[in-house]
Amino acid sequence: MVTVSIQNNQANYAVSSGSLSKQAKSSLEQSFQAQKNSKKKQNSDNHSLSYYKNDIHKDELVQNNTLAKRIGINIEKTLDIPLIHFPRGLGGAPDYTFFEFLQTAKFPYYIGGPILAALFYAGVKKDNFRSAGAAQKVAKHMALGVGLYYVGAALAKSIINNTVKASRGVDLKQPYAKYISKSSKKSGAFQKDVEFHTAFESADFTRTDLLYDEKGKTPEEINKNYIEYGKKYGIKEDANNIDSTIKPLIKKTIVMARAWQYALTAFFVTLGVGMANQPAWDKSSAEGFKKTVTEGIFGKGVKAKDRLHNAKVVVYDYMLKPFGKSFTEFWKGHSKGSSIAGKSVILATAAATLTAITLLLTQTSAKGHKLETTGNNNIKEGQK
Amino acid sequence: MGNLIQSIPVYRPQTQTAPAAGVNVPAQTAPQAVHKPPFQDIKNQFPQTQTYSYIPARPLADAHNTPIGVRPAPSKARLVHENFFQSIGSTIKSYGDYAKYFYNAAFKGEGKDYNVGKINDLSIRAGSLGIAAVLATSKMFPFAKGMEFVGLGTWFASMAVWPHILGAPIKALYGVNINKEYIDSEGRRKYVYEDNQYRPMDIYRYADLNGKPLSPEEYYKKYDKDYIYLDKMGDKLGVPRNIKNRNEATMNRAAQVAVQGKTLWMLTAGVMTPVVSSIVADALQTPLKNQLEKTRYNKASKNLKALESQIDTLKNSGNRDINGIMSALKITVSPKDQAAFNALLTDSGVMTPEQFQKLQDFIDTKFFGSGYKNSLSAAMKRGADMTEPKVFITKELKETIKNITTESVKELLDKIPAETKAKLPEGLLNYQGISEKQINEIIAGVLQTEGIPFDESRTIAFENITKPLGYNSRNGLMQAVTQKTLEPFAFSNLKDKDKKTPQRAPLHNFNRALKDTINAKLKAYFDTKRSFVVDKAEMQKIFNFAFTNNELQKKLKEFEQTSIQNISESMTAINWERVPKKYLKTIGFTEGEMAILATQDATSASKVLSKKFSEIVQDSEKYKKVIKEMADYAKTAISKEEKAVIQLIGTPDSKGVLVKIKELMEEVAQSNFGYETKNELTSHYNLRINEIQRKLKNTIDSYVRPIKALDVFKEIKNDVKHILDYTSDGLARTNAATELYPLAKMTREQQMESLEAYIKDIVLQKNDINSWTTKMETELPGAKQGMKHSLEFVRSIANKVFGPLSGDTAAAINDAQFVDMCDYNNRLMRGTFLRIENKLLKKYTTQYNVFYDLVDRLAGNDKSVYDLLVRILKEKRFVLSPEDFQNCMNLLNTFKNNGHKAPGYKIDSAKKFVNECLDMHKSNREIAQISGKNVTDFFISAAQETRARNKWMKLVYGLLGGTLALSALTIALMGKENHFNKYKYEYINTPEGADK
């Protein structure tokens, strides 16, 4: 299905730029259009990713925001960094956007840490058996530190996202597909396709316009999303003007959530690196982990039951157990200084998380916000 | 509605100049049609159409003021033009702003994308600081702690610096500064080229040729047209001059370069930030380490000097009261320790054995490893008086007796074999302990001894008697209990000869064993009823004394840890990190040789070394250079440690702090606790002093040994000849006697060759003479027994291997003091190792002494060795007792002054005493401590360090070079026409004439 729709698109493109006679062109166009419409209908019904990639003609909210779809979008976005954004940037494309620049900025963020750890490992004495062992240990902690750094950062974001989603119904990760007009696309390699943004990524230019259901007939139908938000924000208002009441609240929520995401990241990455530095991780070897994964889970001729067991071993013995233990070790510390450091990092992280959640729960609700009275809405009068 | 429409400017047919119908407009305010239509050419093309004229918008009401909001407010944006320091200042200031942004956003939900984005910057830095702090606390030593923050600093510095490094050539080539910032009308700092879709051209309007923003007045004084800066930029970018809208074209081209530059930045930052950060942090390590070492040492040294002057004052004051000394040294027992100590003492001063044991245990653990635990225990025992056991006739006593009898029988039964058991009476096997009746009988007997009457029924109320049992009563009780226990089995009635019969013997033996067991158990029970009378003031004194000693040790330890102790970041450790690598470099190994040294076994490594050393000694210029350099490195490494050791221990002529403390505390111990405690303390302090001395010897030996090894390589031919000549008689004799001596069967050439290889191997790998012999056997195949059968042979090899440096080497070093230090060190090492050889040569053990030849010479007529002998004796001033030391010194003086030549002088016993005093006997542990690293190991670890570093350098500089090359290439290709950019210009004149 995916391939078909791509072929359609290409065929369509070739036709429109070809030199066929007008008649032939229009008849072909019609038939393709018909095909395309039928596909489109199917696609828009089940909201597959390729629909958003190929068939949209305006910015659209991605429906059914599932994990699988988000992963698909992220893979798409990640692949675009080396395949599209970097070539375009290095060429100095005139239509290069700030979004693309931000996408390229992810590259140094994710390779800087591992390279630093690798450079450290390159500098240790490996010829000597004893120091090689010690170095491997340190390198392992560093690699783990880099890993848990990213985990910590992701955790901080996810705590806030979930809080906001649960309390206000606002899904900060809600993606939308930004349509890039075909006329502005340059032909040839490295053309920009569709950009996947998130609807709430900007507080200044929040895509609240995408939240209306344009197919709706009545205000209740059009403002369906806003009415949902309204319930969560604690607003009981006329379906006609609930959107204008909600919008400033959404903006406020975005600002507060982003601020706390960044702030919590500082705490959680410290916690992550602190935990990675604990002896709990020494016991399980990286070698054993690798073996269990490659031979125990994905190896040939392993019984399904054993695979399951090995998966449990990997998750529990190699990850959760040392993770939990490293937490207690970090709390206790091995010296007076490190014990104070561990306790204060853990307590500060907990306190900051609680503060963030409390503020988000209390300050973004309608109670915590001075509602701007919009007066009588005049939509109906206007229609007269 | 009509009014609204009127306010929109429109083109209307010229004929309809009057206002639209139904609109009542005052005639005097009606705008006049403009009779000069702008599109004259269009009009001409379509003459048949109506003529339109432009009617400007008419205000809804009379305008008295300029309407607000009609046109945008003038932009207040300005370019940022700062030097390096100003930009640091504004960076710091901006973090204050970011904190404000955070407060507003996080607590009030106020802010814009810009502000929220800045919170991320703040948070990344805060998080990194947190990580550095957490990692620093996990490190043990100040330098490692500091490096966490240095690493953080270099990380952010290189992150900040890299775009500027990239930006410089881009700016030089194309005139586009990708790092240029401006402050927008709302006061927010942004990059000019931040968003490619937003190009703030206006801000360049009044910028001068250097990009410095001027006020319009200033600007027009200098230039007659706007955008002079863009003009210049366009020239650099190669934008043709004679085109329309040149500034816009320039901005577009600048945007292209900026996008390219910033993409290149993102492409390279991930590699360059860690690479530059590591290079800078690495470069900072050496100066930082030096500075830290200096600061730490100076601080510790200063503290030690302050302590020394305090000790001097105390010594002179003659005050030996421990409390006085404590207050003079400002040592106070921490309340916690004092409370713990007090809790162990009883108010009355009477303590049970358990309590007393606890007190001892407390002191033991508290001052564990301090070395004067024993002296403390001795003093404590003396300070506490033991009392007689206080045993009362109580219910507890009765129960105890019953239990003891039961347990004793049971214990013994468990021990004996089954067949013996079978011969024992039935009642004994099921023994349930002494009966109530029997106990009463025993006690009645005891009471009788005490002179207390008892009633007929023998059920006296025992509890009423409050007097403890006397010695006789206790003995009587013990006897009675054993007797009564055995009574039922009629053991006690047996006659002696009956006891020996086979049937009776097991019972008899059992009887005897049981008696002993019960007695022992009762005795132990009585002991628990003893108590100790403790003098609390005396105990406190002991505690204070121990505490004071501990505190003094701590202060000394602080100094040792920064200097001579081989722990991370001490002076010694830093030397070990650096000096061997310098030796390695001086000798000049190739990459391949280094790989063998670093990765293969010691034998292969020593082969490489042997080859290298042989090469160096061939070239006398190189030899001189290598020796000189190595000696210089050794001097710096050794002198630092020597200085520290002198400060601690001093020289034989002037005492160091540790020795002064020792003497003071000895006097305190003597006057407060007596001779025993003082002696214990002395031996403890001597141990410490000797350990410190051994540490210094180890350092000297380690660094001197490669120099001596090279010297041996240089002299090897002569040495081998000399050894063979010197021992030829011995060889022949041994050979004749045993036919085992390995060299005997060889020709002279073979002998020379073998011995040469052997000695080279010794100096590179073996320093312990113990292993010389076994090595000899493997080196010279076919010999089951080796060199140890020739004492002269061993001695002559030792004389060469540990002998003085040759004249050439000494001349190359050109420092008599250092040469003397090397020679003296070698002499002592030889003495130490040859002392082990004595064990091998059993027949010489009793007579052979290392320095006997020197003593003989002094006792003869060679008085030149006197100084050397005194020096060796002084070496042992903390080993020998003061009396022995003095006596030995007196004897040396006697020998020097020929006093021993007086008639009747017992010269033999005098020499024997001197030899014994000078003897270098040492435990294996001590030998291990003083003998330095062997030459091969020394170079192996240096090679490993160097190679690790080389690998790192290759990687880091490879990445740096690669990234720089890639960047340079990319920069060279910027601002050119390409796939995305096609330059098309509308020329003002003909394109052909479009030169710049």
**Closest to A206 in 3D by CA, of A220, A226, A224:** A226
Average pLDDT rounded to a whole number, residues A330-356: 91
Of residues B709 and A126, more confidence is placed in: B709
**Closest to B542 in 3D by CA, of B669, B353, B685, B694:** B669
What angle in degrees, to the nearest 10, is found between the helix axes of B675-726 and B620-649?
A: 170
Concatenated DSSP letters of B357-423: HHHHHHHHHHTTTSS-HHHHHHHHHHHEEEPPP-----HHHHHHHHHHHHHHHHHHHHHS-HHHHHT
Question: Does B863 score more than 90 pLDDT?
Answer: no
C-beta pairs of B127-132 under 8 Å, 24+ apart in sequence: B127/A265, B127/A266, B127/A267, B127/A269, B127/A270, B128/B152, B128/B155, B128/B156, B130/A266, B130/A267, B130/A269, B130/A270, B130/A345, B131/A149, B131/A269, B131/A270, B131/A273, B131/A274
> How far is A361 from chain B, CA to nearest CA, in Å?
12
CA separation, residue B14 to residues B17, B36, B38, B45, B51 (Å): 6, 11, 14, 17, 6
> How far is B576 from chain A, CA to nearest CA, in Å?
15
pLDDT tens for A111-125 read 988 888 888 888 777
Q: Residue B435: which residues within 8 A CB-CB, separation 6 or more? A: none
B350, two tokens: 């009477």
Average pLDDT rounded to a whole number, residues B786-796: 62
The H or E element containing residue A243 is helix A242-276
- DSSP 3-state of B950: helix
Amino acid at A37: N
- Rounded CA separation B6/B9 (Å): 8
Candidate ranges A139-143, A372-376, B248-252, B380-384; pick with highest mean pLDDT:
B248-252
Contact of B453 with B488, CB cutoff 8 Å: no
- What is residue B583's predicted lDDT score, i.e. its pLDDT? 92
Question: Does A356 score more than 90 pLDDT?
Answer: yes
- Rounded CA separation B658/B689 (Å): 8
pLDDT tens for A48-81 read 778 887 778 888 888 877 888 888 899 989 999 9
- DSSP 3-state of A185: coil
**Could you tell me how far CA B868 lies from the centroid of its own chain?**
39
Question: Does A29 score more than 60 pLDDT?
Answer: no
pLDDT tens for B411-454 read 888 888 877 777 777 777 778 888 888 887 887 777 777 776 65
Query: CB count, 10 Å around CB of A327?
Result: 17
The H or E element containing residue B13 is strand B10-13
A127 touches chain B (CB under 8 A): yes
Share of chain A above pLDDT 90, in %: 24
Contact of B605 with B596, CB cutoff 8 Å: yes
Nearest CA in chain B to A359: B107
Average pLDDT rounded to a whole number, residues B289-302: 88
How would residue A156 be classed by pLDDT, with cut points 50, 70 and 90?
Answer: very high
- DSSP 3-state of B79: strand
Q: Do B138 and A338 touch (CB under 8 A)?
A: yes
Closest Cβ opposite residue A90 in set B112, B124, B970: B970
- What is residue B231's predicted lDDT score, i.e. its pLDDT? 92
- DSSP 3-state of B557: helix
Q: Do B974 and A92 touch (CB under 8 A)?
A: yes
Contact of B631 with B815, CB cutoff 8 Å: yes
> How far is A231 from chain B, CA to nearest CA, in Å?
20
- Rounded CA separation B814/B147 (Å): 40
- What is residue B770's predicted lDDT score, i.e. its pLDDT? 57
pLDDT tens for B129-141 read 888 888 888 777 7
- pTM score over 0.95: no
Question: Does A84 score more than 80 pLDDT?
Answer: yes
Task: Tell me whether 0.90 is exceeded by the ipTM.
Answer: no
For residue A116, which residues of chain B lie inside 8 Å, CB to CB?
155, 274, 277-278
pLDDT tens for A235-288 read 877 778 888 888 889 999 999 999 999 999 999 999 999 998 888 887 766 677
**Order of strands, sheet of B350-351, starting from the edge strand that comes earlier in the sequence:** B350-351, B532-534, B384-386
Of residues B348 and B216, more confidence is placed in: B216
Contact of B412 with B506, CB cutoff 8 Å: no
Share of chain B above pLDDT 90, in %: 21
Helices (H), B194-245: 216-222, 228-237
Q: Which of A83, A197, A252, A258 is most worth mutating to test chain B (most B CB atoms within 10 A of its CB)?
A: A258
> How far is A299 from chain B, CA to nearest CA, in Å?
35
- Rounded CA separation B544/B333 (Å): 7
Average pLDDT, rounded, for chain B: 80
- Rounded CA separation B759/B711 (Å): 12
> How far is B639 from chain A, CA to nearest CA, in Å?
28
- What is residue B103's predicted lDDT score, i.e. its pLDDT? 94
- DSSP 3-state of B52: strand
Closest Cβ opposite residue A89 in set B111, B113, B260: B260
Q: Do B956 and A186 touch (CB under 8 A)?
A: no
Q: Do B119 and A262 touch (CB under 8 A)?
A: yes
- Rounded CA separation A120/B131 (Å): 17
Radius of gyration of chain A from its Cα atoms, rounded to whole angstroms: 27
**Could you tell me how far CA A382 lies from the centroid of its own chain?**
41
- Rounded CA separation A107/A117 (Å): 16
pLDDT tens for B866-879 read 988 888 888 888 88
Question: Does B993 score more than 50 pLDDT?
Answer: no
Query: CB count, 10 Å around CB of B311?
Result: 24
How would residue B736 be classed by pLDDT, with cut points 50, 70 and 90?
Answer: very low
**Closest to A6 in 3D by CA, of A47, A41, A52:** A52
How would residue B9 be classed by pLDDT, with cut points 50, 70 and 90?
Answer: low
| Cross-strand pairs, B54 | B11, B34
Question: Does A14 score more than 70 pLDDT?
Answer: no
Nearest CA in chain A to B967: A90
For residue B155, which residues of chain A lie inside 8 Å, CB to CB?
116
Q: Do B256 and A94 touch (CB under 8 A)?
A: yes
Query: CB count, 10 Å around CB of B444?
Result: 18
Segment among A296-305, A307-316, B557-566, B640-649 with least mean pLDDT: A296-305
Of residues B66 and B147, more confidence is placed in: B147
B543, two tokens: 């505690």
Q: Do A108 and B273 touch (CB under 8 A)?
A: yes
**Closest to B584 in 3D by CA, of B945, B46, B219, B192:** B945
- What is residue B168's predicted lDDT score, i.e. its pLDDT? 94
For residue B133, which residues of chain A lie inside 8 Å, CB to CB?
270, 341
A353 touches chain B (CB under 8 A): no
